[in-house]
């Protein structure tokens, strides 16, 4: 049972706390050591607005696409009624064999936009193999889950290649008959270097969330992977942004691509954004008080370091809160178990470094709390994008000294 020590609440926002330019009490001393340069606090304040969204009327239905009947049935079983904009615009050119640049945010349905046509391609031509490269382990697991749903009764097998999981088992899976590999750059590179993964065999390539891979320092790995791919291939390239360095990768990777853009507003209109000024009060104490308020039911807390997040998690557990932490020092099984428990409502809060700020699709997150400020405004946007989804209101709070 969750621990709540105070009952005063109002619209999921803490009462008795001071927002904006007001002050907290000064009983507690804050730790200011090793703090990065802070962003302008005004960037973190924005009222949620009521947005009347026009219903999207797709050009196609899933029944219109020239895909196998069994795949159409799997789409129905998955609960997909009609294509999202990225699916509506991207599936047909991918079916035609075109290279595609997809400019799309997380949560737009882009995974199905590339999986559906590529699965269909494999179904009718078993010589086809697909390599999907993504920035994080969690996103790779999500994509494989979706792939498994779409390939039901199609005799199409996928292999997951991610760090933190048993490499010997992954090598064994690669030796068996498979059609799709989904993985992160580091593990893919390691297995390719060991001669266990032969990149020249994969004639369909997807790079997903390329901007995030660049942010994480995977640019050299990406270029190395591209150099080992077959010259004749179909290449798909998805990114939320397209700055010059990413465009140069795209230009070296794609042949006469068609560009599909369904970018949404960079910050969610549904997210109420505010700051909490500490004025010397210990952040851990502030967070404890917040989590004790009613309405803080499903909270994502973002911190800067693995060590800091782990220490905070242990402290909150000792106080009786149902929380878990995910970061790079956790095993893949530990990270996946924590995510599953959070998604299923068995945890009040999930504490994470920025490894969790992109690509994760978690329903009904009530609050995002920036315990440590993000390194950039772009990271802030991705963090708060975990709440206020599917037309629901969310709240983002950022701690400011």
Is 8 exposed, middle or buried, given 0-12, 13-18 or 19+ CB atoms closer than 10 A? exposed
pLDDT score at 4: 37
pLDDT score at 256: 94
pLDDT band at 48 (very low <50, low <70, confident <90, very high): low
Q: Which residues pair with 352 in a beta bridge?
A: 302, 326
pLDDT score at 20: 45
Is the pLDDT at 214 greater than 90? The verdict is no
Encode pLDDT of 294-303 as tens digits.
Answer: 999 999 999 9
Query: pLDDT above 90 covers what percent of the chain?
Result: 59
**Same fold for the domain at 9-51+269-400 and the one at 69-261?**
yes
Predicted TM-score (pTM) of this structure:
0.67
Is the pLDDT at 2 greater than 50? The verdict is no
pLDDT score at 359: 57
> Where do we find the tokens 């086809």?
128
pLDDT score at 232: 95
pLDDT score at 192: 97
What value does the mean pLDDT of the chain take? 85
Is the pLDDT at 395 greater than 60? The verdict is yes
CATH class of 69-261: alpha beta
Q: Which residues pair with 299 in a beta bridge?
A: 349, 367
Beta strand 204-207 with 323-326 is unpaired
Q: Stretch 376-401: mean pLDDT, rounded? A: 83
Encode pLDDT of 255-293 as tens digits.
Answer: 999 999 886 554 557 789 999 988 889 999 999 999 999
Q: Report the alpha-carbon distance of residue 23 to residue 400 in Å, rounded.
A: 11
Q: Which residues pair with 244 in a beta bridge?
A: none
Lowest mean pLDDT among 28-32, 70-74, 247-251, 292-296: 28-32
CA distances from 309 to 274, 293, 305, 323, 371 (A): 22, 21, 6, 11, 9
Fold of 9-51+269-400: Rossmann fold (3.40.50)
Q: Stretch 326-331: mean pLDDT, rounded? A: 84
Q: DSSP class of residue 101? A: E
User: What single string gives the DSSP state of each residue in 115-169?
Assistant: HHHHHHHHHH-TT--EEEE-S-HHHHHHHHHHHHHHTTTTT--EEEE-TTS-HHH
Q: Report the alpha-carbon distance of residue 144 to residue 358 in Å, rounded.
A: 17
Q: Report the alpha-carbon distance of residue 361 to residue 143 in Å, rounded.
A: 11
pLDDT score at 73: 97
pLDDT score at 375: 84
Element (H, E) at 23: none
> Where do we find the tokens 């370091």?
305
Residue that wins the pLDDT comparison between 267 and 72? 72
For residues 116, 122, 128, 134, the Cα torsion angle rounded to the nearest 10 degrees is 30
Encode pLDDT of 165-193 as tens digits.
Answer: 899 999 999 999 999 999 999 999 999 99
Query: pLDDT above 70 covers what percent of the chain?
Result: 85
Q: Report the alpha-carbon distance of residue 364 to residue 299 in Å, rounded.
A: 9
- SS3 call for 282: coil
Query: What's phi and psi for 150, nearest 5 deg?
Result: -75, -25
Q: Stretch 363-374: mean pLDDT, rounded? A: 92
Q: DSSP class of residue 284? A: H
Residues 263, 240: contact at Cβ < 8 Å? yes
Chain centroid to Cα 384, Å, comes to: 12
pLDDT band at 7 (very low <50, low <70, confident <90, very high): very low
Within 13 A of 386's CA, how many CA atoms are on the CB side?
A: 31
The ranges assigned to domains in the chain are 9-51+269-400, 69-261
Residues 342, 362: contact at Cβ < 8 Å? yes
């Amino acid at each position: 049972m969750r621990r709540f020590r105070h009952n005063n609440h109002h619209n999921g926002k803490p009462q008795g706390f001071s927002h904006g330019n007001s002050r907290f009490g000064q009983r507690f001393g804050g730790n200011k050591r090793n703090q990065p340069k802070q962003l302008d606090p005004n960037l973190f304040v924005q009222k949620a607005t009521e947005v009347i969204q026009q219903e999207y009327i797709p050009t196609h239905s899933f029944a219109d696409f020239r895909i196998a009947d069994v795949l159409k049935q799997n789409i129905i079983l998955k609960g997909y009624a009609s294509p999202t904009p990225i699916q509506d615009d991207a599936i047909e050119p991918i079916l035609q064999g075109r290279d595609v640049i997809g400019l799309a945010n997380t949560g737009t349905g882009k995974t199905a936009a590339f999986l559906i046509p590529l699965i269909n391609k494999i179904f009718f031509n078993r010589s086809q193999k697909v390599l999907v490269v993504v920035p994080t382990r969690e996103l790779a697991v999500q994509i494989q889950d979706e792939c498994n749903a779409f390939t039901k009764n199609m005799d199409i097998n996928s292999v997951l290649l991610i760090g933190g999981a048993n490499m010997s088992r992954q090598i064994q899976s690669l030796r068996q008959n498979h059609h799709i590999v989904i993985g992160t750059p580091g593990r893919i590179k390691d297995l390719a270097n060991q001669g266990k993964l032969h990149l020249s065999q994969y004639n369909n390539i997807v790079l997903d969330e390329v901007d995030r891979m660049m942010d994480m320092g995977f640019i050299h790995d990406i270029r190395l992977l591209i150099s080992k791919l077959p010259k004749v291939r179909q290449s798909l390239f998805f990114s939320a942004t397209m700055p010059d360095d990413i465009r140069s990768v795209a230009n070296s990777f794609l042949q006469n691509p068609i560009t599909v853009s369904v970018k949404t507003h960079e910050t969610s209109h549904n997210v109420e954004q505010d700051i909490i000024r500490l004025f010397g009060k210990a952040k851990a104490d502030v967070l404890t008080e917040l989590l004790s308020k009613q309405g803080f039911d499903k909270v994502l807390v973002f911190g800067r370091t693995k060590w800091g997040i782990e220490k905070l998690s242990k402290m909150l557990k000792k106080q009786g809160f149902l929380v878990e932490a995910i970061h790079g020092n956790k095993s893949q099984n530990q990270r996946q178990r924590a995510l599953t428990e959070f998604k299923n409502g068995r945890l009040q809060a999930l504490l994470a470094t920025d490894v969790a700020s992109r690509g994760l699709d978690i329903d009904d997150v009530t609050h995002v709390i920036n315990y440590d400020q993000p390194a950039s405004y772009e990271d802030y946007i991705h963090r708060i994008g975990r709440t206020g989804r599917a037309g629901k209101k969310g709240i983002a709070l950022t701690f400011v000294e």
